Structure 1
Amino acid sequence: MPEPGLSPLQSSLPSAAAHFGAHVLAQAGIVGVEAADTAPSTLPVPAAVGEPEPDLSRILRGPSGLGTAGLSLAARPVEPPVPLESGVPVASGAPASGAPVEALEIPGLYYHPVPEPDPVRVEEVSRRIKDWAVDEVELFPEEWEGQFDGFSVGRYMVACHPDAPTVDHLMLATRLMVAENAVDDIYCEDHGGSPVGLGGRLLLAHTALDPLHTTAEYQPQWAESLHADSPRRAYRSAMEYFVRQSTPSQADRFRHDMARLHLGYLAEGAWAETDHTPEVWEYLAMRQYNNFRPCPTITDSVGGYELPADLHAQPAMQRVLALAGNASTIVNDLYSYTKELAGPGRHLNLPVVLADREGLSERDAYLKAVEVHNDLMRDFEAESAALAAACPVPSLLRFLKGVAVWVDGNHYWHQTNTFRYSLPDFW
C-alpha cells in the first residue's frame, strides 16, 4: 500500500457550497454565504441536467386548480434566519476565537477545514447544556463531570450549525446529541453498557421519543418509567423541547432516524454477544444505521426552516443523507481508534474489521479505512451536486449546504477534541 501523503488542501467551509454548484446555491438566498463560497468547484457538476424524475417533477409543480398557485415548491422562498438574538446582531459567519485550537492530523484524510466556532455562542451553549444535564434531567453522577466537560458539546454543535438563528435553535441539537450519547454510553458501552438485555432497554427508551399509546390503566406506569433512568429522562426532555420548536413532519423524521440508530446498536450488540467479526460490507451496513445520521437530518429544524417531507423522502436525498452519515461515522472510527483499543473487551471499528477480514496489518487496515472514508466523502459531494443541479428549490439547496457544513463541523470536533482522542503512531 502506498505511503499516505499530506491531507489535500481544501477550500474552507462554508465554501463547501462550491462542491454542489455555487451558481445553484446563489439562487437559494442562503444567508451568511461569504465570498469564499464562490471559489471554483473541485467537483464537476453536470453541464446539462435533464428533467427531474416524474415524481420529483410532480412535487415541484405542486397541486393544480383554483387557489393553489402559491403552493409550488419551486416558487417558495426560504425565510432567512432571524437576524437578532436578544437584541444582539447574530454574526453571519463564525468569527475567529484567538489562537488556533490544537488539532490532530490524519495523513491523506479528505476533509474541509472550518472557521473556529463563535466563542460567545460556544460559551452560552456550554452553560445551558450543563444546566440542563445537571438540573433538569440529572444526567450523570458528580464523578462523570470531567468527562462531560471534556466532550465539548457546545463547540461541537456551534461548529456544525453556524446558520442557527438563535441559541435556542442550537440547543435543540445539543440536547438531542447529549441524550443520544447518554443512551450509547450507559446502555451500550462505556458506563456499564452491555449487549445483554439491550433490546428491552432501547425499546423502552425509544418510547420517550415515540410515545406509547395505551389504555388509561397502564398509561401512568409508562409515564412514570420515563423518569426511571438518566437516558430516558434525557430522551424525554430533549424530545419535548424539539417537538415544541419543530413541525410534526420534522419530529416524525427524527423518530424514524433514531429507530435506525437503535437498530444499529442492536446489531453491534448481537455481534459482541456472539463474539462475531462481520465481513467488511456487513460492518459498513451496520454503520449505516449505527451512525450520526439523526444529527444532520435535523439541520433544517436547527436552521429555523423546513425541508418539505416529499423532498426529504426522495431517493436522491436519502442517498445523500446516508452517505453523509456514513462518512461522518468512519471519521469517528478513525479518531477513536486508539481510545477503543485501550478500552476493555474488543471493540469493532472499521480498521479492526479490515485487519481481521482482509488479513491486513494494523497500519494498512487503518490506511484503507482512510480510503473508504475518502470514497464516501467524494460520493456524498457528487450526489449532493447532482441533486442540487436537478432540483434547485431554495429549501433543498439550503438543506444540502447545512448537511455539508454539519459533516465538516463533525470532523472539526473530532480533530480538535484531544481530551478524548489521539492517533495511532503509524507515521
Structure 2
Amino acid sequence: MSATTTNADLLIPICRFLLYETYFDDYVEIMPLEEVATLRDRAFEVMTGDSARPDEIGMFRQMEIARKEWIANGMPQFWIERMAKGFWEFITYGIMEETHFKLTQTYPTLARYLLIRSHSIGQLAYGNMIDPALGSALPEHIHKHPAIQRVLFLHSIIIGIQNDFASIRKEMATENENFNIILLLHHTHHLSLEDALIKAMAIHDDFVAELEDISQCLPDFGPYQKEAENYVYHAKLMITGLNEWYYSSGTKRYAPEGFATPKYGVQGEKPLDFEVKHIRQD
C-alpha cells in the first residue's frame, strides 16, 4: 500500500501503524464501549506526545515509537495531530458505532452503513500514511478541501467494500461479524446472496467511477498542484495495492483462525453454504 516508498526509515513506522491499527480493531471486539473509549483516549495521548507506561499493553509502546520515528524523519506536528485525530475518529465513528449492530445482530440502513464503514475499516485513518510514504505532509488547507476529503472518503469506502468481499466467508462463520455490505443487502434488501454480491459490486464500481472523475478534475491548488495530484494518485494506489494483497499474496488473514483473539471471548462458528467469487474488473 506504500508501493513507491523506498526509505525504510519512513516505511517502518507506517508498518507499525498498520499493525497496531489492525490489532486494536480485533482486540476491542464486543468490548464494553466505556473500555473502548478509555483505550481510544489513551491512544490519542500517546500518539500526540505522552510516553507509554510499562504496565500498558504493547500497542501503546508501538504508537510512541512510531511517533518518534516520524518526527525524526521530518514529519511536522500538525501532521502528527492529524494522524492521531484520524485514529480517534476510526475508533469513535467506526468501531464504537459498529458495536451496537454487532452485539444486537441487526443492520443499519445502507446509507448509515456506508458512513460507519468508511471509518471502521480504518482506511480514513491509514490514509494519513500517504504523507510519510511521500516524505512530506499535505498542507492543512489542501487536505481539508472538499475534493480531497471526498477522495479520501471514496478510497476508504471502496477499500471497505473490497474488505467485505475478502472476508465474507470468514465473517459468515463467526458470531458478531455481521457488519458486511453483502450480508446487509441480503438481509435488509431481501436479496439472495448471489444477488447481494452483484449489487455490492455495482455500488463499489459506482464509487470507483466517482473517484476517477474527481481525480481527473482536481481544483487549482496553486504551487501545491503537483503535490495534491500525487497525493490523490497514491490514495488510488493504496486501493490497488490492498486488492492485490487480498487475492495474490497468500495471506491467511481471512482464514477462520486469522483474527487476533478479542479480549471478550472467542466467536463461535456458523456453517457457510455458498461460494464467494471475486469479480475483478480492470
Give the 3 Å change call, closer, same or farther, for CA 387–227 of structure 1 in structure 2. Answer: farther
**Residue from 235, 253, 259 that aligns with 2:63:** 235
- CA–CA distance in structure 2, aligned partners of residues 307 and 347 of structure 1: 36
**Residue from 176, 184, 200 that aligns with 2:17:** 176
What residue is the counterpart of 1:261 in the other structure? Answer: 90
Q: CA deviation at 1:387?
A: 0.8
Asked if structure 2 preserves the Cα contact closer than 8 Å seen for 1:297 and 1:321, the reply is no
Equivalent position SS for 1:294? helix
Asked if structure 1 preserves the Cα contact closer than 8 Å seen for 2:103 and 2:176, the reply is no
- CA–CA distance in structure 2, aligned partners of residues 201 and 290 of structure 1: 16
What residue is the counterpart of 2:170 in the other structure? Answer: 339
What residue is the counterpart of 2:247 in the other structure? Answer: 415
Q: CA deviation at 1:206?
A: 2.8
Give the 3 Å change call, closer, same or farther, for CA 384–208 of structure 1 in structure 2. Answer: same
- Is the counterpart of residue 194 in structure 1 residue 31 in structure 2? yes
Q: CA deviation at 1:317?
A: 0.8
What's the RMSD between the two structures over aligned residues? 2.3
- CA–CA distance in structure 2, aligned partners of residues 267 and 161 of structure 1: 29
AA aligned opposite 1:272: K
**Residue from 371, 395, 399 that aligns with 2:202:** 371
Equivalent position SS for 1:208? helix
**Residue from 108, 128, 147 that aligns with 1:316:** 147
Asked if structure 2 preserves the Cα contact closer than 8 Å seen for 1:195 and 1:270, the reply is no
Q: CA deviation at 1:295?
A: 2.1
Asked if structure 2 preserves the Cα contact closer than 8 Å seen for 1:169 and 1:301, the reply is yes
Asked if structure 2 preserves the Cα contact closer than 8 Å seen for 1:324 and 1:407, the reply is yes
Q: CA deviation at 1:371?
A: 1.2
Give the 3 Å change call, closer, same or farther, for CA 227–401 of structure 1 in structure 2. Answer: farther
AA aligned opposite 1:406: M
- Is the counterpart of residue 279 in structure 1 residue 109 in structure 2? yes
**Residue from 262, 275, 280 that aligns with 1:425:** 275
Q: CA deviation at 1:348?
A: 1.4
Q: CA deviation at 1:244?
A: 2.9
After superposing on structure 2, the runs of 4+ consecutive aligned residues of structure 1 that deviate more than 6 Å are none
Asked if structure 2 preserves the Cα contact closer than 8 Å seen for 1:297 and 1:403, the reply is no
Equivalent position SS for 1:209? helix
Q: CA deviation at 1:411?
A: 1.2
- The structure that is helix-richer by fraction is 2
Q: CA deviation at 1:249?
A: 2.2
Greater C-alpha radius of gyration: 1
Give the 3 Å change call, closer, same or farther, for CA 229–382 of structure 1 in structure 2. Answer: same
Asked if structure 2 preserves the Cα contact closer than 8 Å seen for 1:208 and 1:226, the reply is no
AA aligned opposite 1:335: A
- CA–CA distance in structure 2, aligned partners of residues 185 and 304 of structure 1: 30
Asked if structure 2 preserves the Cα contact closer than 8 Å seen for 1:327 and 1:377, the reply is yes
What residue is the counterpart of 1:218 in the other structure? Answer: none
- CA–CA distance in structure 2, aligned partners of residues 280 and 353 of structure 1: 8
Give the 3 Å change call, closer, same or farther, for CA 195–370 of structure 1 in structure 2. Answer: farther
AA aligned opposite 1:203: D
- CA–CA distance in structure 2, aligned partners of residues 406 and 195 of structure 1: 32
Q: CA deviation at 1:273?
A: 3.1
AA aligned opposite 1:254: M
Task: Describe the superposition over 1:337-392 as per-residue Cα deviations: whole angstroms up to 9, x where unpaired.
Answer: 1111122334311111111111111121122111111111111111111116x447
Q: CA deviation at 1:416?
A: 1.9
- CA–CA distance in structure 1, aligned partners of residues 131 and 116 of structure 2: 26
What residue is the counterpart of 2:188 in the other structure? Answer: 357
What residue is the counterpart of 1:295 in the other structure? Answer: 126
AA aligned opposite 1:185: D
Listed as ranges, the matches of 1:33-72 within 5 Å are none
Equivalent position SS for 2:125? coil
- CA–CA distance in structure 2, aligned partners of residues 164 and 338 of structure 1: 33
Give the 3 Å change call, closer, same or farther, for CA 185–234 of structure 1 in structure 2. Answer: farther
- CA–CA distance in structure 2, aligned partners of residues 426 and 258 of structure 1: 31
Once structures 1 and 2 are overlaid, which stretch shifts more, 169-178 or 231-240? 231-240
Asked if structure 1 preserves the Cα contact closer than 8 Å seen for 2:124 and 2:156, the reply is yes
- CA–CA distance in structure 1, aligned partners of residues 17 and 55 of structure 2: 17
- Is the counterpart of residue 210 in structure 1 residue 42 in structure 2? no
Q: CA deviation at 1:165?
A: 3.5
Asked if structure 1 preserves the Cα contact closer than 8 Å seen for 2:182 and 2:200, the reply is yes
Equivalent position SS for 1:293? helix
Asked if structure 2 preserves the Cα contact closer than 8 Å seen for 1:176 and 1:239, the reply is no
Structure 1 unmatched runs, 5+: 1-159, 213-222
Q: CA deviation at 1:211?
A: 4.3
The TM-score, its normalising length taken from structure 1, stands at 0.55
- CA–CA distance in structure 2, aligned partners of residues 269 and 324 of structure 1: 23
The TM-score, its normalising length taken from structure 2, stands at 0.81
